[in-house]
Structure 1
C-alpha cells in the first residue's frame, strides 16, 4: 500500500510542477511527455521578498553619501560650476542632488539651523564669524572661529561644504 501512495504522489507531483512544452512539429504533447519541461505555474512560484525598511533606509543613506562625495569632488575641481548648480544651497531651486550638503559660507541662517547640533545660539555665532572673516575654508576653521563645541566638528564635516 505504501508503494501505491508513493507512486500516486510522484504522478501528481509531475502533473503539478512539470508541464510539457508544446512541440512545434507534433502540436500538443501528451501528458506523459517528460522530455521537455518548463517552469511551474506562476501561482506556485514564491513572490520575491520585499526589502525591509532597514534595507531601504540603508540604501537611501548610501545614495546620499555617494551624492555628497560626488558633489564634493565637483566642488573641488570646479567651484564655479558647483555654485551654478547650487551645491550646498537647499534654499535655492536646483536640479542637482548634492546629498544634503550645506554651503556654510553662503546659505541663510535658517538652513544652518537644520545642521545637526547647531542651536539658534550657535547659528548666530556662525553667522557672526562668517561676516567677520568673510567665509570659512574648512570645518575646523568654522569650529575655531565660531567657537563651536569640538564634538560638533565631525558631525558638521559630514554635511557641510565651504565654497568661496
Structure 2
C-alpha cells in the first residue's frame, strides 16, 4: 500500500477580494434609479450571478417589501388612506430604496468578483500492481479455504451452494475452486496442468468407477505433470 494516503482534492479558490469595476456602481444604484422595483431587480441579478444566502434572502425580502407597498396603498381610495398605512408604505419604500442601495454597495465586491470555473479533477494516479493484486489474491485464497471447509463438513450443502461448479449459478464465492468429481470437461480443462484430453479422462473415470477420494488418487491415475501438482491442490476440490 502507499506509504501516505492520496491528498484530497484542493478546495475551490476563494472569491477574490479586489474591488469590482466602477461600471458595477450602476447596478448598486438601481434601487435609487428605480424606486421600489429597483431593489428586487438588483438582487435578482445578484442571485443569478452568485446564488447564495447573501443574495437570495435579500431578493425575497425586497420583493416582499415591493409587493407589501401596494398591499398597503391599493385597498383604499385616493385620499382615504389611513395614516398608519401611509406611514407603513413610506417606511417600506424607504427601506427598499435607500436601504437596498446601501445593501447593494455593501455586497458589490462579493457579487461582482470574477466567477472562476471549477478546476478539473486531477487524473487518477496509476496504482502499482502490488497495491491491489496481493490483497485480491489473499481474499481469493481465504474464500477457497472457507469453501473447502464447507465441502469437508457438509458436502451436500456445498453441492447445493455450487462450490466448485463455475458452470452453474453461484450461491457463494468459492474463490475459484473446481469440483473434479462433478464439473464438466470444459471446466476441468482450464485447471493448471489440464488439457481437453485429461479433462475427458477425469470425466470418464468418475462415470465408470465413481468419485475420486483424494487428490493423490487424481494425480496418480490421470498423470498430472509434477510441476502442476501444487497448483492443482490449490484449486481442486473433491465433493462426493
Which has more radius of gyration?
2
Match of 2:177 among 83, 97, 101: 101
Query: Partners in 1 of 2:220 and 2:206 — Cα distance?
Result: 12
- Determine whether 1:156 maps to 2:204: no
Q: 1:50, CA displacement in angstroms? A: 7.2
Q: Please tell me whether the aligned partners of residues 129 and 145 of structure 1 are also in contact (alpha carbons under 8 angstroms).
A: no
Q: Unaligned regions of 5+ residues in structure 1, if any?
A: 1-48
Match of 1:60 among 136, 139, 155: 136
Match of 2:216 among 116, 140, 156: 140
Q: Which stretches of structure 1, 4 residues or more, deviate above 3 A after TM superposition? A: none
- RMSD after superposition: 1.6
Q: Identify the residue that residue 69 of structure 1 maps to in structure 2.
A: 145
Match of 1:90 among 151, 158, 166: 166
- Render the CA deviation track for 1:102-122: whole Å, top value 9, x for unaligned: 000000001001111211222
Query: Partners in 2 of 1:151 and 1:137 — Cα distance?
Result: 22
Q: Unaligned regions of 5+ residues in structure 2, if any?
A: 1-124
The alignment's TM-score, normalised by the length of structure 1, stands at 0.65
Q: Please tell me whether the aligned partners of residues 186 and 196 of structure 2 are also in contact (alpha carbons under 8 angstroms).
A: no
Query: Which structure carries more helix by proportion?
Result: 2
Q: Alignment length, in residue pairs?
A: 116
